[in-house]
Every structure is written in structure tokens, then in C-alpha cells.
């Protein structure tokens, strides 16, 4: 079987802090990690994709590596939030289902095939040590035609972000995330975009791909 990470340099997905993520993320952090304009850009993207509560069709959405807020302008009919911290997920008032899981320890998703209409991951992709497996799982639980929307900025916890992320630029991050999505073999060609005005606060980039 072909190694999905073939071609990446050794240590690309290693981190300075390889201690248990359950310890690092144990204390609840009820804060936002991007500024208001970037948060609004996330909500605008979700609305444009037709996966929030403004859609005339009720949507079931999976929010990967979630926290106490999911940045939907209007929450979807069903929102499954998966994250590291139970207290943060409990505080997410938009959530209808909560799953506590360390995806770096177990990249599988406890959901059936084709269970959700959309999957999102906001400002967290840089922390995954096995991102292709996680994105393949997202593809498995997505219905055909459903969007995967990955957003990211230039902020992070540097000791927990993978070395390859820290060694690349904001513009290169889009190409990196798109390549990770491609290597699952489950999505159409990813589209990379900058969703905020350059030089106006936190940049917000998006990679969006549709499940085949």
C-alpha cells in the first residue's frame, strides 16, 4: 500500500511538544483565536456554501476540532462538534451532538458512512499529525457532493503545530492543505482562497473541496 505521506520530509508532521494533547488542551480556553473580521469571514463562507441555518434545506454538519463556538452566522439544523475538551464543547450552544476525541491518537470518526451534509475545520488543521487519515475519515462520513471547508489563519500554538506548518508561509499553507485533501482520493479539486482583505487584521484562508 502506498504511503500517503510519501514525499514529505522526515519530521514534517512532528511537533516541538509531543506530550499528550489531553494535557495541553485539558484547561478550557473559552476564547477566540482569530479576530472579529476573520470570524465573520468564516460565517460568510459557511453561508455561501449553503451549510448553515439560512439554507432552506436542513443541514447536518460536522465541526472537526471544535471548541465552544463554531462561527456559523446561523447554526445548521444539526451540528456535530468533535474536539478535545468536554467543557468547551458543552459551552457550544449551537451543538446538537458532542464528541470528545483526540484525533492525533485516533484519527477515526465515530459516525457512519455518509452521515453528514458538510464537514468543517476552523483554525485547527495545523495541529494534526495524521491529517490525511482524518481528512479521509471526513470524506467517508460526508454524503456525495458535500463540501469540506478548512479555514486557517496565521495564529497558532507553536509548540503544538506541526513543524511543516511552521516552516511554510501563509500562501504555502493553502497549497499544503489542498495537497493533503487530494491525497485522500475522495474529493474533487480543492479551491484555495483568501477570505479577508490583505493587511486588514488576521488573514483568513479557506480550502474547499466537494466529496465525489
- Specify the pLDDT at position 1: 60
- Specify the pLDDT at position 173: 98
All three cell numbers of 123, joined, read 483554525
Across the chain, which has 212 residues, the per-10-residue mean pLDDT values are 92 97 89 94 98 97 97 98 96 98 97 98 98 98 98 96 97 97 98 94 97 98
Q: Is the torsion defined by CA of 59, 129, 124, 80 positive or negative?
A: positive
Decide if 14 is inside a domain: no
Decide if 9 is inside a domain: no
Decide if 112 is inside a domain: yes
- Burial class of residue 163 (count of CB atoms within 10 Å of its CB; 0-12, 13-18, 19+): middle
DSSP string, 164-201: HHHTS-HHHHHHHHHHHHHTTS-B---EEEE-S-TTSS
What is the C-alpha radius of gyration for the chain, rounded to an integer number of angstroms?
16
pTM, to two decimals:
0.97
Nearest to 68 by CA among 91, 86, 39, 96: 91
CB 42 within 8 A of CB 57: no
- Specify the pLDDT at position 2: 85
Decide if 176 is inside a domain: yes
pLDDT tens-digit map of 3-45: 999 999 999 999 999 999 999 999 898 788 899 999 999 999 9
Q: How many domains does the chain have?
A: 1
- Specify the pLDDT at position 29: 85
Decide if 194 is inside a domain: yes
- Specify the pLDDT at position 139: 98
Decide if 10 is inside a domain: no
Task: Identify the domain containing residue 202 by its residue range.
Answer: 21-210
CB 72 within 8 A of CB 89: no
Decide if 4 is inside a domain: no
- Specify the pLDDT at position 54: 95
CATH (domain of 152): 3.40.50.150
Decide if 2 is inside a domain: no
Q: Which helix (H) or strand (E) holds 43?
A: helix 36-48
CB 203 within 8 A of CB 39: no
Amino acid at each position: 500500500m502506498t504511503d500517503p505521506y510519501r514525499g514529505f520530509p522526515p519530521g514534517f508532521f512532528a511537533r516541538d511538544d509531543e506530550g499528550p494533547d489531553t494535557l495541553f488542551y485539558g484547561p478550557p480556553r473559552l476564547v477566540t483565536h482569530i479576530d472579529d473580521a476573520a470570524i465573520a469571514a468564516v460565517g460568510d463562507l459557511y453561508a455561501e456554501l449553503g451549510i448553515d441555518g439560512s439554507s432552506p434545506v436542513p443541514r447536518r454538519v460536522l465541526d472537526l476540532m471544535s471548541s465552544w463556538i463554531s462561527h456559523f452566522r446561523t447554526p445548521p439544523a444539526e451540528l456535530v462538534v468533535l474536539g478535545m475538551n468536554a467543557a468547551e464543547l458543552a459551552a457550544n450552544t449551537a451543538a446538537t451532538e458532542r464528541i470528545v476525541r483526540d484525533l492525533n491518537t485516533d484519527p477515526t470518526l465515530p459516525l457512519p458512512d455518509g452521515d453528514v451534509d458538510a464537514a468543517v475545520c476552523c483554525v485547527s488543521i495545523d495541529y494534526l499529525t495524521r491529517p490525511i487519515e482524518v481528512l479521509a475519515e471526513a470524506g467517508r462520513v460526508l454524503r456525495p457532493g458535500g463540501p469540506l471547508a478548512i479555514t486557517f489563519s496565521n495564529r497558532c500554538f507553536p509548540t503544538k503545530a506541526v513543524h511543516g506548518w511552521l516552516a511554510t508561509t501563509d500562501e504555502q499553507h493553502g497549497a499544503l492543505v489542498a495537497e493533503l485533501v487530494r491525497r485522500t482520493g475522495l474529493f474533487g479539486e480543492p479551491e484555495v482562497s483568501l477570505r479577508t482583505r490583505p493587511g486588514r487584521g488576521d488573514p483568513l484562508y479557506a480550502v474547499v473541496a466537494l466529496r465525489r
